[in-house]
Amino acid sequence: MLSHPDFIEKNIIIVFTNEGQYFSFKNDNLVVKDKEDKVVLQSTCHQLLALWVVGHCSLSSGLMERSKKFGFPIVLFSFNFRMIGAWNAPTEGNYLLRKKQYAYQDWTIAKHLMHNKIENQIETLNSIRKKTPACKEAIQSLRSYQSQLPQTKELSDIMGLEGVASRLYFEQWFFTLPWKGRKPRAKIDPINVLLDIGYTFLFYMVENMLHLYGFDIYEGVYHRNFYNRKSLVCDLQEPFRCIVDKQVKRAYGLGQIKAEDFIFEKGQYKLTPLKSKEYTRWLMQGILEYKSDIFLYCQKYYRCFIREKPIAEYPFFTISSPQNS
């Protein structure tokens, strides 16, 4: 399986077809060219972690063959970053892992994941230099919710604590910015649009990691299993969500987010296609700062799960100290 030193050398390549970019292969090298046929990027397939295509394109049998050979997935997005489809190259033969996944019937890992998520929400709020009394009170409340997790016995209790903690956290983290509260996929304001996009990028980053080990990504330990929902990816994404939250708020502070970069259609805000590359760059930059953390977390999660280790040995992600820095 992929080692950490080998992983560090791998990259996610993103192609924007709305800018006239297209890609082809020369031997075992991926070549990306612009609309004037100038080479903007060339990379050996050995260093490809994933290929993401934003916009419409055609997939050739040669591309799919190389995806399987070199083990990199291809993810297709629409211009507004709605996921169209994916061609994966997973290690599906790890039947022992999947057997253990299907046999697992407990909420211990779910509690651990939510404890980790709330801890990073607390760390994120603690990073605010001038805390209001409401913010300080929110941090105390989050600690209280976190301390109640070990006593929960039902999934509904865990979900309830996570829900109230997240609402309180979002109220304090974005309270100085123009938004109306977290509304997933509703796109009622630019912040929600950007959170949805950032979480999407993070989601597929985590999915890439889980495919390295052969997990059934539809079999979750916290999110309920529904038809066609990648519940395990949703689970392991949770501790990392604050990465996106911090990057969006940082971008507002740097003036990188402008009202004119969004359009309002049919009751929803959308990022204009011409700005997709610019926003993708800084959103992905924030996530890739924690590239090693995500890899090592999923690697340790796999080792703990397959060996049935006690929960104290499971990975714990701390947002304040990225491995890549």
Per-domain residue ranges of the chain: 4-87, 95-112+174-313
Output the six-digit token pair for 201: 């990028």
Q: State the helix-helix crossing angle for 291-306 and 190-211, rounded to 10 degrees.
A: 50
220 within 8 A of 231, measured Cβ to Cβ: yes
Rounded CA-CA distance 154/31 in Å is: 51
Q: What is the pLDDT of residue 20?
A: 82
Rounded CA-CA distance 47/43 in Å is: 7
Q: What residues form DSSP beta bridges with 71?
A: none
Q: What is the pLDDT of residue 1?
A: 64
Q: What is the pLDDT of residue 71?
A: 83
**For the CA atoms of 74, 75, 76, 81, what is the dihedral angle to 10 degrees?**
-150
Q: What residues form DSSP beta bridges with 14?
A: 52
* CA-to-CA separations, 14 to 31, 41, 88, 175, 281, in angstroms, rounded: 12, 10, 16, 33, 10
165 within 8 A of 121, measured Cβ to Cβ: yes
User: Going by C-beta distance under 8 Å and a sequence separation of 6 or more, which residues neighbour residue 147?
Assistant: none
Q: What residues form DSSP beta bridges with 50?
A: 12
pLDDT means per 10 residues, the chain with 325 residues, are 77 84 85 87 88 84 85 84 75 86 96 98 95 96 98 96 96 90 89 95 92 92 90 97 97 95 93 91 93 94 96 95 57
Q: What are phi and psi of 86, to 5 degrees?
A: -145, 145
Place of tokens 């930059």: 285
Q: What is the pLDDT of residue 114?
A: 98
Looking at this protein, which amino acid is placed at residue 84? I
Q: What is the pLDDT of residue 325?
A: 40
40 within 8 A of 23, measured Cβ to Cβ: no
- Superfamily designation of domain 95-112+174-313: CRISPR-associated endonuclease Cas1, C-terminal domain (1.20.120.920)
Q: What is the pLDDT of residue 307?
A: 96
Architecture of domain 4-87: Ribosomal Protein L15; Chain: K; domain 2 (3.100)
